[in-house]
């Protein structure tokens, strides 16, 4: 079985409007073994991430002190005002024949122009009490947990096998928690929905998630926040379009198997050697 809980991170700016849905493409900023949230300063970090957003992304980004929106001068996101950083694990094809790894690139989402990267949404749900609080400078959070598969799977993290005329609603009956076990000619869409409730105090927490909580048991919807996390924050969602179309050998799929692994997990084997983390940010494939 392959491991496929995503660890996804957002370092967010005070950007979102509660009234309108924002959907925008962000090209790749870099793909690096860097994780300023979970392994600050570690070079290289334990696994690769694909990272988008503001150009101040760095190995160490201390809450409140290092705030991308105030330190970046440009962004890979289509909204030039959004200097947040967002990242997820990378996806690899692990050859069933010879065990070698190939990084699976991302492609642009429907109707968007972007080079790699992912699509970011700020969902428009109004808070139950009509109040929505913008992210404070330095705010960050994580969704998913590489050590706990059950953590926030569907309805908050899911995968869709594209290319068979499926619809688009995120994490519905067509989506699976695990990576699809059949060939997906149109790629695999990973959806990651972040918590929408905050404790109102902490910009971060030791596990990077206990300062936030899901409402309504996860997924999308009008925030119905628990009393421990009473403050409604904008609901962030990512879509990552993994370009799996060329991995078409049907022998690689079926009966619970498929050839993809995220860049970490219980079946994790380090991916091919990567250049050391390099500043300023460099793109490489
Ligand atoms: C990243 O941090 C290093 C030292 O911690 C600093 O020299 C460098 O300017 C920072 N880069 C950016 C893009 O802020
Ligand atoms: C390993 O197998 C994959 C297909 O599974 C192929 O694309 C790749 O070229 C092979 N690599 C080597 C080193 O044989």
- CB neighbourhood size of 4 (10 A): 25
Q: Could you say which ligand is closest to the alpha carbon of residue 99?
A: 2
**How wide is the angle at C-alpha 133 spanned by C-alphas 63 and 57, nearest 5°?**
30
Give me the phi and psi of 70, to 5 degrees please.
-95, -10
Name the token pair of 214: 């899901």
DSSP state of 32: E
Instruction: Please report the atom of ligand 1 found closest to the CA of residue 55.
Output: 13
Name the closest-CA residue to atom 10, ligand 1: 58
Cα 35 to middle of ligand 1, angstroms = 14
Ligand located closest to 93 CA: 2
Which candidate, 89, 239, 108, 119, places its Cα nearest to that of 170?
239
Pick the ligand that lies closest to the CA of residue 95. 2
Q: Answer whether 13's CB lies under 8 Å from 108's CB.
A: no
Strands 91-94 vs 101-103: parallel, antiparallel or unpaired: antiparallel
Residue 150 alpha carbon to ligand 2 centre in Å: 33
Residue 61 neighbours by CB distance under 10 Å: 20
Say which residue the tokens 């005329």 belong to.
165
Pocket test for ligand 1, best of 43, 58, 60 (most atoms within 8 A of CB): 58
Cα of 270 from ligand 2 centre, angstroms? 17
Q: Which of 126, 191, 205 is nearest to 156 (CA)?
A: 191
pLDDT tens-digit profile, the chain (285 residues): 122 234 455 666 544 444 568 899 999 998 888 889 988 988 878 778 899 999 999 999 988 888 888 889 999 999 888 899 999 988 989 899 998 888 899 999 989 989 999 999 998 777 777 788 888 888 999 988 766 655 567 788 899 999 876 667 888 888 988 899 999 999 999 999 999 999 999 999 999 999 999 988 888 888 889 999 999 998 999 999 999 999 999 999 999 999 998 886 544 444 444 444 444 343 333
Task: Quickly list DSSP for 55-117.
Answer: TT--S---TTTS-HHHH-S-BSBSSTT---EEEEE-EEEE-TTT--EEEPPB-PPTT---SSS
Contact 171, 192 (CB under 8 A): no
102 Cα to the center of ligand 2, angstroms: 9
Tell me the CA–centroid distance for residue 95 and ligand 2, in Å.
6
Nearest atom in ligand 2 to the alpha carbon of residue 99 is 1
Q: 192, 263, 197: which is closest to 224 by C-alpha?
A: 197
CA 32, 34, 38, 39 torsion: positive or negative?
positive
Q: Which residue has the tokens 């492609």?
A: 107
């Amino acid at each position: 079985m392959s491991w496929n809980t995503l660890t996804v991170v957002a370092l967010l700016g005070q950007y979102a409007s509660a009234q309108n849905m924002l959907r925008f493409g962000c090209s790749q900023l870099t793909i690096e073994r860097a994780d300023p949230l979970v392994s600050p300063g570690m070079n290289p970090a334990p696994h690769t991430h694909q990272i988008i957003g503001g150009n101040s992304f760095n190995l160490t980004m201390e809450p409140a002190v290092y705030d991308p929106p105030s330190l970046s001068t440009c962004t890979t996101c289509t909204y030039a005002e959004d200097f947040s950083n967002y990242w997820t694990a990378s996806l690899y094809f692990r050859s069933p024949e010879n065990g070698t790894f190939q990084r699976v690139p991302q492609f642009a989402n429907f109707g968007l122009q972007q080079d790699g990267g992912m699509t970011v949404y700020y969902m428009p749900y109004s808070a139950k009490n009509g109040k929505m609080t913008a992210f404070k400078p330095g705010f960050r959070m994580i969704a998913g947990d590489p050590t706990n598969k059950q953590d926030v799977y569907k309805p908050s993290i899911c995968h869709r096998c594209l290319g068979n005329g499926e619809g688009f609603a995120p994490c519905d009956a067509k989506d699976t928690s695990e990576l699809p076990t059949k060939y997906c000619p149109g790629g695999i869409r990973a959806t990651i929905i972040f918590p929408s409730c905050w404790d109102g105090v902490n910009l971060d927490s030791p596990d990077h998630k206990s300062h936030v909580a899901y409402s309504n048991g996860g997924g999308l919807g009008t925030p119905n926040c628990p009393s421990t996390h009473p403050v409604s924050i904008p609901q962030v969602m990512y879509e990552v379009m993994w370009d799996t179309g060329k991995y078409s050998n049907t022998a690689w799929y079926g009966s619970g198997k498929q050839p993809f692994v995220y860049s970490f997990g219980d079946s994790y084997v380090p991916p091919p050697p990567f250049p050391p983390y390099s500043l300023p940010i460099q793109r490489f494939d």
